[in-house]
Amino acid sequence: MSVFVIIYYTLLLGASCLAAYFNKRSAFLLIFSLTLVSFILGIVGGPGALRSVAIAAGLLALAAMVSYAFREFLIVIASTNMAKELRTAPLTAAFGMFVIFTYAIAGIFAPVIAPFGEAEIISSAFAPADETMLLGADQLGRDMFSRIIYGARNTVALALAGTVLAFLLGALAGLLAAVNGGWFDQLIARTSDVIMSIPSLIFALLMLSIFGGELANDTTSFWLLTGFMMVTGLLVVTAVFENNIIGWAIGLAALVGVSVAFAGFMLIIFNPSEIILVLVVAVIYSPRVFRLTRAVAGNVVVMDYIEAAKLRGEKTWYLIRREILPNSTAPLVAEFGLEFCFVFLLIAGLSFLGLGIQPPTADWGSMVRENATLVSFGEITPLIPAAAIALLTVAVNFVVDWMLYRSSGLKV
């Protein structure tokens, strides 16, 4: 019996007795079941296992404290209304917000934070960690830490772009379908049924096998992106101008201009293969967004105030903008977070398979793949980018969970 084990059990038992004494039922149940589990763990895994439990508990406590402090910080700086909302946030949601905040900082200021460039080779392959390289070097001798920081920028930006495009198309189509109904609704619903009956990863692989090779050039990606934006914009033009022919002409002209400008702008930020990836993701996820938006907007459209507005002769675009959107913001924002998680995991998975973001761009999925051999030597370095992926997804999910709870709780 080492001193550590004795202290470990003393603390646990003491805490459970205190919890029982002060009638904190749930705390008692938690601590006492942990004690019982520890007995078994201690017998099977020895003090080592107990030590990892203690470390995990310490980390959890640390995370809880950080989350608590961060929530208080947000409450102080937020407006009164926001602060009232924030007070209801559980610690998990506060933790999520903290993580998202940290990633945003890391992504935006990546060149400032990272000590080296993302493609800079500074030492030998798989060099171990030292003072200059916090996490050692990767398979080509690039600094792992810098690449992880840059990954926050590249991977997240790409996933964000994919989600935004999927959302633009899916949400617009969903809102229009809810307002108009009829054959338009049916057509889009059936199309999305078909797309959704191919598993997303499989569909992505299929599309990448076709657009991933020589088609991933500047011209093709430019026109594909312009086309995607035209389709999306066409929905807006339909909603805004309805049967007004002159309006259509003006709208179409403006639409072409905006689409071309947007595609050009995207080409400056991303390289062609990344744009193809964004488009693939947008095509796969827009049906899911459509389905949800259609459902959310469908609940609003049956309200009498929508009928009153329709009977007044209001145009579709007014209905969407002034009547439906303000009443479906909360579920749509939550859904945006959820879709972001899916998109992010899909892109990470594709990169891990070597079919997503291409080297030398630093990206978490491909970093795991490139350094996977280290795992067989018992190193945890290749797991760090994977953990970075998991952490962000968990964080977003925590926040979404809270928001969904809030928006469903308000109905009761």
- Residue with smaller CB distance to another protein, 25 or 132: 25
Q: CB neighbours of 383 closer than 8 A, spacing ≥ 6?
A: 368, 375
Interacting span for another protein (CB under 8 A) from 70-78, 121-129, 148-156, 349-357: 349-357
User: Any contact of residue 206 with another protein (CB under 8 A)?
Assistant: yes
Q: How far is the CB of 35 from another protein (least distance, A)?
A: 15
Residue with smaller CB distance to another protein, 113 or 383: 383
The amino acid at 263: A
What is the pattern of x (binds another protein, CB under 8 A) and - over residues 63-102? -------------------------x---x----------
Candidates 132-140, 159-167, 249-257, 346-354; binding stretch for another protein (CB under 8 A): 346-354
List the one residue from 5, 64, 78, 205 that touches another protein (CB under 8 A). 205
Q: Is 314 in the site for another protein (CB under 8 A)?
A: yes
CB-nearer residue toward another protein: 146 or 393: 393
Judge if the upstream peptide bond of residue 287 is cis by omega within 30 degrees of 0. Answer: no
CA distance 143 to 123: 8
Min dist CB 383 to another protein, Å, is 6
Residues 355-384 within binding reach of another protein (CB under 8 A): 355, 365, 368, 372, 375-378, 380, 382-383
What letter represents residue 199's amino acid?
Answer: P
- With binding defined as CB under 8 A, does residue 386 bind another protein? yes
Residues 13-52 that bind another protein (CB under 8 A): 26-27, 29-30
> What Å distances lie between residue 55 and 29, 51, 58, CA to CA?
21, 6, 5
Site size with another protein, rule: CB under 8 A:
68
d(CA 198, CA 204): 10
Instruction: Give the list of residues 6+ apart from residue 144 with CB closer than 8 angstroms, or none.
Output: 133, 134, 135, 136, 137, 138, 367, 371, 381, 384
Q: How many CB atoms lie within 10 A of CB 210?
A: 10
Which x/- pattern over 145-184 shows residues binding another protein (rule: CB under 8 A)? ----------------------------------------
CB atoms within 10 A of CB 230: 17
Rounded (10°) CA dihedral 249, 251, 257, 259: -130
Between CA 110 and CA 104 the distance in angstroms is 10
- Reported as type and span, the H/E element at residue 314 is none
Range 389-407 burial, b when 16+ CB lie within 10 A, else e: beebbbbbbbbbbbbbeeb
Choose, by CB under 8 A, the member of 271, 358, 397, 407 that binds another protein: 397
Token couple for 35 = 């004690």
Residue ranges that bind another protein, judged by CB under 8 A: 26-27, 29-30, 88, 92, 193-194, 197-203, 205-210, 212-215, 303-305, 307-308, 310-314, 322-323, 326-327, 341, 345, 348-349, 352-355, 365, 368, 372, 375-378, 380, 382-383, 386-387, 389-390, 393-394, 396-398, 401, 412
